[in-house]
């Protein structure tokens, strides 16, 4: 009988096992991130001035390791997954996704957090999930799913396990990973996301990333905060996206030449800048920004007015240094800072409500994925009453972002990652031996 087919059940077991492995690595990554963030915080309690040594040395070491031994690990990880889904050459894909790169990505990103960099683990988790699922793309297992479907499924599983947002993982796979081609509704993505989420649920429990924030908007007065957050987040996110895209092509003038000629020294300079900003803000800008954002959402602490600009600056410095670093979670912290600033001129609404709107607005403006943004923020705050306001804010932010940044951030970066991987594959391809030339008589 068809349902007793050994081959079919072997296919399902392989797919489920790989999805569980991707979820397990994401969980280990999350636990490791908490440990190294606490370790860095303990070092800063001993002496805040230690950051002037730790950050430059850490950035320089990570940049050297990534450039020398793991050239596919620089940056977020989302552009690498997108680039791998756009190419058919397995040699090029291997330069972007592999188990070796996945393990290195985890270790190096944890090193960035230990050094105090404003980096996130969510983007790297996408590359990890895509790399793990791509292991099934060999000749003997190609009947499980196509390579593209496996990469898309692994990317969605990475988001689901990193944020504990299964719906957000599915929407990320559809909206971001399949931007240039139609999404084929199949069971591969659903199985990967579901079982990666179940692994997270089984180990970490049923938690929400930012806890539960029972905030809501009053109507019709709540229309103005929605429009203000959407417009401000869309413009600011779009401009920041353009800054990152332009920076990925190189800085102008003598600074850009210094970055090209001496990239390790330039990474150390970026680490020094990160340390100086951290000292100036009392340590608010170190790490992902998760703790600061959660405290502001819960009303335990307030975000100062300068947090928005300071956090964007340290994210930019980590991006310039070309260390393995995600920007997804730090972008949520920037959005929280935006909401905190807007709440100062909107005293009639709850500050936590404006913070949530600011988070979804900046994320949607920076990534230009409005559906993914409001679904992820809704799941992270466990607040379904804010569904329609979050949805409307994301749509408004997306519209304003498109007016200032016509090319989405991750896809602009993916084209550069693809060109670099293709260049590496060509350089390593075997060259034909030179033809023998008969000597002249």
258 and 265 Cβ atoms separated by less than 8 Å:
yes
Which of 163, 224, 179, 166 lies closest to 82 in space, CA to CA? 179
Q: Based on the domain organization, do 56 and 162 belong to the same domain?
A: yes
- Say what the pLDDT of residue 297 is: 83
What's the rounded mean pLDDT across residues 170-179?
81
- Say what the pLDDT of residue 440 is: 47
Structural domain containing residue 87: 8-204
Tokens of 20: 């569980």
Q: Based on the domain organization, do 21 and 152 belong to the same domain?
A: yes
319-333 CB burial, b ≥16 within 10 A, e <16: bbbbbbbbbbbbbbb
- pLDDT, one tens digit per residue, over 300-354 is 888 899 999 999 999 999 999 999 988 888 999 999 999 999 988 876 656 788 8
Whole-angstrom distance, CA of residue 366 vs CA of residue 350: 25
What's the rounded mean pLDDT across residues 215-236?
83
User: Is the predicted pLDDT of residue 429 greater than 70, yes or no?
Assistant: no
User: Is the predicted pLDDT of residue 163 greater than 70, yes or no?
Assistant: yes
Q: Based on the domain organization, do 31 and 169 belong to the same domain?
A: yes
- pLDDT, one tens digit per residue, over 252-304 is 889 889 999 999 999 999 999 999 999 999 999 998 888 888 888 887 888 89
User: Is the predicted pLDDT of residue 171 greater than 70, yes or no?
Assistant: yes
Cis bond upstream, residue 220 (ω within 30):
yes
CATH classification of the domain holding 145: 1.10.3080.10
Q: Is residue 298 part of a domain?
A: yes
Domain boundary, last residue among 172, 204, 236: 204
Domain count, the chain: 2
Whole-angstrom distance, CA of residue 161 vs CA of residue 125: 8
DSSP letter (8 states) at residue 161: H
Q: Look at 100 and 190; give whichever has higher pLDDT.
A: 100
In whole numbers, what is the pLDDT of the chain averaged over residues?
A: 84
- Say what the pLDDT of residue 441 is: 43
88 and 79 Cβ atoms separated by less than 8 Å:
no
Q: Is residue 189 part of a domain?
A: yes
User: Is the predicted pLDDT of residue 142 greater than 60, yes or no?
Assistant: no
Q: Based on the domain organization, do 127 and 246 belong to the same domain?
A: no
Q: Does pTM surpass 0.75? A: yes
Which of 118, 294, 308 lies closest to 209 in space, CA to CA? 294
Which of 340, 393, 388, 346 lies closest to 365 in space, CA to CA? 393
Q: Based on the domain organization, do 189 and 283 belong to the same domain?
A: no
- Say what the pLDDT of residue 438 is: 46
Whole-angstrom distance, CA of residue 84 vs CA of residue 421: 9
Q: Based on the domain organization, do 23 and 99 belong to the same domain?
A: yes
Domain boundary, last residue among 176, 204, 232: 204
363 and 373 Cβ atoms separated by less than 8 Å:
yes
Q: Is residue 431 part of a domain?
A: no
DSSP-based three-state secondary structure for 300: coil
């Amino acid at each position: 009988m068809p349902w007793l087919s050994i081959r079919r059940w072997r296919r399902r077991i392989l797919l489920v096992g790989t999805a569980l492995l991707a979820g397990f690595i994401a969980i280990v990554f999350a636990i490791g991130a908490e440990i190294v963030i606490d370790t860095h915080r303990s070092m800063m309690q001993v002496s805040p001035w230690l950051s002037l040594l730790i950050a430059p040395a850490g950035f320089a070491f990570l940049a050297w390791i990534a450039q020398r031994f793991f050239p596919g690990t620089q940056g977020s990880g989302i552009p690498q997954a997108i680039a791998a889904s756009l190419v058919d050459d397995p040699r090029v894909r291997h330069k972007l996704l592999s188990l070796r790169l996945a393990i290195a990505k985890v270790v190096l990103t944890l090193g960035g957090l230990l050094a105090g960099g404003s980096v996130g683990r969510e983007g790297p988790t996408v590359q990890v999930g895509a790399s793990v699922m791509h292991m099934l793309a060999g000749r003997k297992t190609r009947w499980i799913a196509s390579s593209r479907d496996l990469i898309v499924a692994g990317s969605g599983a990475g988001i689901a396990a990193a944020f504990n947002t299964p719906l957000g993982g599915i929407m990320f796979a559809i909206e971001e990973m399949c931007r240039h081609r139609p999404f084929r509704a199949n069971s591969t993505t659903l199985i990967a996301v579901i079982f990666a989420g179940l692994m997270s649920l089984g180990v970490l429990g049923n938690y929400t990333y930012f806890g539960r924030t029972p905030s809501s908007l009053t109507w019709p007065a709540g229309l103005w905060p929605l429009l203000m957050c959407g417009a401000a987040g869309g413009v600011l996110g779009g401009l920041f996206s353009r800054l990152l895209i332009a920076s990925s092509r190189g800085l102008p003038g003598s600074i850009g030449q210094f970055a090209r000629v001496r990239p390790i020294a330039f990474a150390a300079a970026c680490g020094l800048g990160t340390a100086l900003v951290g000292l100036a803000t009392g340590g608010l800008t170190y790490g992902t920004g998760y703790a600061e954002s959660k405290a502001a959402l819960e009303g335990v602490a307030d975000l100062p007015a300068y947090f928005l600009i300071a956090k964007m600056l340290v994210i930019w410095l980590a991006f310039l240094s070309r260390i393995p670093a995600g920007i997804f979670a730090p972008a949520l912290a920037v959005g929280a800072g935006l909401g905190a600033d807007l709440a100062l001129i909107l005293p009639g609404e709850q500050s936590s409500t404006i913070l949530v709107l600011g988070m979804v607005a900046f994320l949607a403006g920076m990534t230009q994925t409005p559906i993914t943004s409001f679904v992820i923020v809704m799941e992270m705050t466990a607040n379904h009453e804010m569904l329609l306001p979050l949805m409307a804010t994301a749509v408004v932010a997306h519209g304003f972002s498109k007016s200032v940044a016509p090319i989405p951030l991750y896809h602009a970066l993916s084209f550069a990652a693809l060109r670099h991987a293709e260049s590496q594959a060509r350089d390593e391809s075997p060259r034909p031996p030179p033809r023998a030339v008969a000597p002249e008589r």
